Amino acid sequence: MLKLERRPAPSRGWTAVTPVLAVVATMIAGGLLFAALGKDPVEAIRTIFWDPLFGKFASYSRPQLLVKAGPLILIAIGLSLGFKAQVWNIGAEGQYIMGALFGAATGLAFYPTDSVLLFPAMVLMGALGGFLWAMIPAVLKLRFGTSEILVSLMLVYVAQHIMSAASFGMLKNPEGMGFPGSRNFQHYPAAFNSELIAGTGMHWGGVAALGAVVAAYVLLSRHILGFHIRVAGEAPRAARFAGVSPALLTSVCLGTSGALAGLAGLFEVSGPAGQITTDFASGYGFTAIIVAFLGRLHPVGILLAGLLMALTYIGGELAQLTLNLPSAAVQAFQGMLLFFLLAFDVLANFRIRLARRKVEGRARA
Amino acid sequence: MMGSIDPILLIASLMVASTPILLAAIGELVVEKAGVLNLGVEGMMIVGAIAGFAAAVESGSPLLGFVGAAVAGAALSLIFAFLTQVLLSNQVATGLALTLFGIGFSALIGQGYTGVRPPPTPKMDFGPLSDIPVIGPMLLRHDPMVYVSILIIAAVWAFLKFTRAGLVLRAVGESHDAAHALGYKVVRLRVLAIAFGGACAGLGGAYLSLVRVPQWTEGMTAGAGWIALAIVVFASWRPWRVLAGAYLFGGVTVLQLNLQAAGVAIPVQYLSMAPYVMTILVLVLISADRRRAAQNAPASLGRVFHASS
Amino acid sequence: MQRRTLLKSGAAALVAVSLASPALAQDPLKVGFIYVGPIGDLGWSYQHDQGRLAVEKEFGDKVETVYLESVPEGADAERALTQMAMQGADLIFTTSFGYMDPTINVAAKFPDVKFEHATGYKRADNVATYNARFYEGRAVMGTIAGRMTKSNKIGYIGSFPIPEVIQGINSTYIHAKKVNPDVEISVVWAYTWFDPAKEADAAKALIEQGVDVILAHTDSTAPLAEAAKTPGVIGFGQASDMLDFAPSPRVSSIIDNWAPYYIERVQAALDGTWTATDTWGGIGEGEVGIGEITDAVPAEVKAEAEALAASIADKSYHPFTGPLNKQDGSVWLAEGEVADDGTLAGLNFYVEGIKGDIPQ
């Protein structure tokens, strides 16, 4: 019988190899799926994984990877801090929405100004919106011991309804011919989050995402707070003896992840999305949870995982376009990729032994 | 204001409207009682919706449809069980992946079934009983699944409260390490609970596609699985409160549509978010009372279990 | 079951076409479509895809079509459009209101590609717009509804409070009232284009309020399925014909038929005569189809409805012809005056006689 034995620390070698193994396994399983649908599996896999990076139009799709991955990475970095400390914020989607709403409302309140202070103010308000929304579960947890998993999830739906109400009411574009949705920030230069260098796909959201990766890396490897986060997650009792305040840690983790999710929402609404509409939220907050785990809660891992998710979105679109692959097949394929990535993670954290007796024998020896 | 709404008909229709989320929620309750958080309810529901629909259409029997839906929901949930219980992957991420996969997969297998009409599910025949005033039209004129769903609630309640297996399940959800030390098969029990949850979610999905709508269309669950998750919390992990929660969540939708139909102007969005705000309030109330919280919320919810010895 | 086999063989034919075309075609016109929902929704996106299939059938090797389904509005739409243009699409139809700004943006980057945006109001040298006068079909449905209702209550399931839906409600009510002065209309806003369970609940709520004719401006067949449960309640197919529910409750239908428009525009692109026009076609142009009126409707009502449809088609009658007052009693259209397209495109008020407010 197979038996898992926990490694004292995740194996570095396996941590690096398992994502590759998982992608290969997905290619095989996905290839079978595509073949069953009557498509050329090699062609389909190449279109999804290769063409966006090195295909004929890669000069366009490579920057787009960053545009799509930016919000995912930014949110996932924030979430990973909490997840490491066993603080489970799964309502990033709601914080993303509230950040977008706060930021957009700020921008629209001053329409049509050309003040250079407007965009920074929107960024601050975006972060604040996400932060406040995340502090609701934080405060309830500290005050009443309420589960932050469930409160943050419930608040996603509340946020979605507020957004729907805002796009029909408060923030509705007065010149929009009666259609729901706010003014488009693309036509509002002082508030528009445009590409910093044309053709690179790099806007302030991408900068913030890369900045967050670096900051999280430094925090976790060099700073005392990062140490506290790690200890709190791995050995909560020891953490208390070491003087880590669980209340402070919960607030910091939820607040930071909320603020980053809010920032992601603000950068998205003022840039690529352009406006608040009923369909503004497209699940980034939930996808980011998966990205955080795929990245093994490590900043660099999250960067790569975010880019990989973005690759499957953009490659999946290409496969629809060039091979007539139904979008449902692409979705199922993404699900399979996640299953394999999660499954192979076991190799990094555990040794697999064959028989129970043998294990015990060795352990004693 | 509400004078023109017939409360009897309102209750009758909210019972029907709530049945899919009720079924999914009672399944998820058992899963969470065993200490597992499966966020893939939406995915299992929609796979149940198409599997049940296909089975009913191919066989001509709604009964076989529901059986097929339960089997399909359970089968899909076993992917989650394998990943989280055997390979010890994170439950939150795996559940989300399950939803993503389920929505895509259901659309793939459902491609031949758009526009087909399923065989009708007959109503229960209570004979003269259904003519009793008030009670008859309100409670006794539904299809069998409405009653089956309530029976499942009763069964889960009795199972958790009175049986030894139910006690063990709760123990596993409370402290998997202690349960393991006592010699209980933690993983095996959890896999069974997850499969039960999947089967119930599948039934809920099939109720949508076979009775309530009845039609197969891509993405037809439209978020019902997420509402089921909220209901479990609202119910503070108690079976009969799941019934109350499902009727509340289903009832708010039915009520706001009825108020509109009766010509009452209401702010739809604010009314629609009310059940979620109430869920948070309930959560706060039960958590504030530590002693009662300890009785209800499974302490090991969402934690990875690994038998290290 | 018949419908399904039909769909299956349709799919087989589609595969055959797509296999055959690349080998034979010299330099086919590449026509792209972006859909907001899955093509299996049996409603809005499904009908646009039927238009795409009609284009393939009409032009054979001369065209090649591609599509992207379930494309979210916003940032993803802009990327999807750009990818489609870069893959060599010559003519792209963007089939949802939310694609308006992305379409304009991408069109500016690809001046040689022709774009057509459905239901919007922004145009450019290479961006045309098109929409359908669904309210013309609603006038016909309203006439049938007014004649058929026994309770004098008709119900309308609205998706979102936007001009297109408000046009439909007004048109329905005006024409029901014309043939039945006692008629009342109840409106339920579902706040969704597509949620079968909620649509079924909305229909049920209306029926419990005594409504016996149901019109829906949402896309699924759920309201008809709900109507089928109560004898005496009738409804109409919406977006697609929904013949599965004929002869009753589905007594007729209002069909989004994009095929004639798509064929005409592809032809223009092939001929080199394409320009950035604004088209708002109705029954006369074939964009709004009236599904067969079944025998559940008495012959004289059927004849009356068909006569109305014919008079709208040949432009001798406009559904919004005065005298018409606004809900508050103020004059909208004087005797014989016809509503202009600008007002209709931004319509945000009910006509006199409709109770309730449009949600703000």
Say if A9 falls within a structural domain: no
**Can you tell me the mean pLDDT for B102-113?**
90
pLDDT at A104: 93
B96: tokens are: 């989300």
Here the tokens at position B290 are 């530590």
Whether A11 contacts chain C with CB within 8 A: no
State the total domains in chain C: 2
Provide the pLDDT for residue B46: 96
Query: Which residues fall within 8 angstroms of residue B297, CB to CB, at 6 or more apart?
Result: A147, B236, B237, B286, B287
Task: Supply the pLDDT for residue B263.
Answer: 83
Residue at A135 is within a domain: yes
Residue A69 to residue A209: CA distance in whole angstroms: 9
Shared domain for C308 and C275, answered yes or no, is: no
Question: Taking CB atoms and an 8 Å limit, are A329 and B104 in contact across chains?
Answer: yes
Most confident by average pLDDT, A279-293, B126-140, C133-147: C133-147
- The number of distinct structural domains making up chain B is 1
Assess if residue B309 is contained within a domain: no
Q: Are A94 and A158 in contact (CB under 8 A)?
A: yes
Determine, yes or no, domain membership for A350.
no
- Among A39-43, A172-176, B286-290, C146-150, which stretch is predicted with the lowest mean pLDDT? B286-290
Chain A to chain B Cβ contacts (< 8 Å): 147
Q: Containing domain of residue A163, as a range?
A: 40-324
What is the rounded CA–CA span in Å between residue A213 and residue A77? 7
Q: Which residues of A touch B279 (CB under 8 A)?
A: 150, 154
Q: With CB atoms and an 8 Å threshold, state whether C68 touches A181.
A: no
Contact C196 B213 (CB under 8 A): yes
CATH of the domain at C80: 3.40.50.2300
Interval B242-262 mean pLDDT = 88
Out of C75, C346, C359, closest to residue A268 by CB: C75
Best mutation target, B8, B58, B117, to test chain C (most C CBs within 10 A): B117
Q: Are C6 and B115 in contact (CB under 8 A)?
A: no
- Let me know if residue C3 belongs to a domain: no
Instruction: List the structure tokens of A303.
Output: 């960067």
Q: What's the confidence (pLDDT) of residue A2?
A: 65
Same domain, C180 and C82: no
Residue A145 pLDDT: 82
Looking at the structure, tell me whether residues C62 and C80 fall in a common domain: yes
Beta-carbon contacts of A157 under 8 Å, excluding residues fewer than 6 positions away, are A94, B226, B230, B273, B276
Q: What is the CATH number of the domain that holds A236?
A: 1.10.3470
Q: Which of C187, C188, C253 to mutate to test the interface with B (most CBs of B within 10 A)?
A: C188
Q: Is residue A211 assigned to a domain?
A: yes
* Residue A101 sits at the chain C interface (C-beta within 8 Å): no
C244–B257 C-beta distance less than 8 A: no
The one-letter code for the residue type at A289 is: I
Are C146 and C35 contained in the same domain? no
- pLDDT above 90: residue B264: no
Contact partners for chain B, using 3 or more CB pairs closer than 8 A, are: A, C
Of the candidates C80, C105, C121, the beta carbon closest to that of A177 is on: C121
Q: Is residue C96 a part of any domain in this protein?
A: yes
Alpha-helical regions (H) of chain C: 2-24, 44-59, 75-86, 100-109, 134-148, 163-179, 196-208, 222-228, 259-271, 299-313, 341-345
β partners of residue C63 = C29
- Residue C359 clears pLDDT 90, i.e. is over it: no
pLDDT at A361: 38
**Does residue B101 form part of some domain?**
yes
pLDDT of residue A360: 42
Strands C331-333, C63-68: pairing is unpaired
Cβ distance C7 to B4 less than 8 Å, yes or no, reads no
Q: What pLDDT is recorded for position C63?
A: 95
Evaluate whether residue B124 is within a structural domain. Answer: no
Asked if B103 and B171 touch (Cβ cutoff 8 Å), the reply is no
In a domain, C1, yes or no: no
Q: Same structural domain for residues C144 and C126?
A: no
The number of domains in chain A is 1
Whether the per-residue pLDDT at B309 is higher than 60: the answer is no
φ, ψ for residue C321 (rounded to 5)?
-115, 135
With a pLDDT cut of 70, the percent of chain C lying above it is: 93
Q: Could you tell me if C227 and C335 lie in one domain? A: yes
Same domain as C297, residue C227:
yes
Residue B154: give its domain's CATH number.
1.10.3470.10
Task: Identify whether A14 is part of a domain.
Answer: no
User: What's the gap between Cα A363 and its chain centre?
Assistant: 40
Query: What is the rounded CA–CA span in Å between residue B189 and residue C57?
Result: 57
Residue B227 located in a structural domain: yes
Of C69, C84, C98, the CB nearest to A279: C98
Q: Inter-chain contact C7–B212, Cβ cutoff 8 Å?
A: no
pLDDT band with cut points at 50, 70 and 90 for residue B4: confident
Tell me the nearest-neighbour CA distance from C348 into chain A, angstroms. Answer: 7
- Lookup: tokens for C299: 């012959």
Per-residue pLDDT, B290: 62
pLDDT band at C74 (very low <50, low <70, confident <90, very high): confident
How many other CB atoms are found less than 10 A from the CB of residue C125?
Answer: 11
Count other Cβ atoms within 10 Å, centred on residue C183.
23
| Stretch C290-301: mean pLDDT | 93
**Using CA atoms, how far apart are residues A315 and A26, in angstroms rounded to an integer?**
14
Q: Is A24 a domain residue?
A: no
Closest-CA residue of chain A to C192: A278
> C334 and C266 in one domain?
no
> In this predicted structure, what is the pLDDT of residue C218?
87
Judgement on whether residues C210 and C89 belong to the same structural domain of the protein: no
Q: Determine, yes or no, domain membership for A291.
A: yes
Q: Do the chains contact at B105 and A333, CB–CB below 8 Å? A: no
Residue C6 pLDDT > 50: no
How far from C177 is each of A197, C149, C172, C352, C358, CA to CA, in Å? 60, 11, 8, 11, 20
> pLDDT tier at B106 (50, 70, 90 boundaries)?
very high
Average pLDDT, chain C: 88
C154 lies in the same domain as C43: no
- Interchain proximity A339–B101, CB inside 8 Å: yes
* A157 or B29: which leads in pLDDT: B29
Q: Phi and psi (nearest 5°) for C258?
A: -85, -10
Distance from CA of B84 to the nearest CA of A (A): 8
- Its domain, for residue C53, covers 29-133+258-281
User: Span C38-66, mean pLDDT?
Assistant: 91
pLDDT of C24 above 60 = no
Closest CA to B211 of B151, B124, B110: B124
Of C18, C105, C121, the CB nearest to A324: C18
Task: Compare CB distances from C200 to B6, B116, B212 and report the shortest one's residue.
Answer: B212
Q: Judge whether residue C19 has pLDDT over 50.
A: no
Is C194 part of the contact surface with chain B (CB cutoff 8 Å)? yes
CB contact under 8 A, B107 and A334: no
Nearest-CA neighbor of A80 among A218, A185, A220? A220
Instruction: Give the domain range for residue B249.
Output: 7-118+133-295
Q: Give the pLDDT of chain A (365 residues) as one tens digit per residue.
A: 567 777 777 777 887 788 888 889 999 999 999 999 888 999 999 999 999 999 888 888 888 999 999 999 999 999 999 988 888 898 999 999 999 999 999 999 988 888 889 999 999 999 999 999 999 999 998 888 888 888 898 899 899 999 988 988 888 888 877 788 888 888 888 888 888 877 777 888 889 999 999 999 998 888 888 888 877 777 777 777 777 788 888 899 999 999 999 999 999 999 888 888 888 887 899 899 989 988 888 999 999 999 999 999 999 999 998 888 888 888 899 899 889 988 888 887 787 776 544 444 343 33
Look at B213 and C41 and tell me if their CB atoms are within 8 Å. no
A218 assigned to some structural domain = yes
Domain check: are C82 and C148 in the same one? Answer: no
Peptide linkage before B275 cis (omega within 30 of 0): no
Contact A64, A201 (CB under 8 A): yes
Q: Do the beta carbons of residue B202 and residue B73 sit within 8 Å? A: yes
Q: What is the spatial distance between Cα B96 and Cα A341, in angstroms, rounded to a whole number?
A: 13
pTM, two decimal places: 0.88
For the segment C168-216, what is each residue's pLDDT rounded down to a tens digit? 999 999 999 999 999 999 999 988 888 888 899 999 999 988 999 999 9
Per-residue pLDDT at A97:
96
**Within a domain: C4:** no
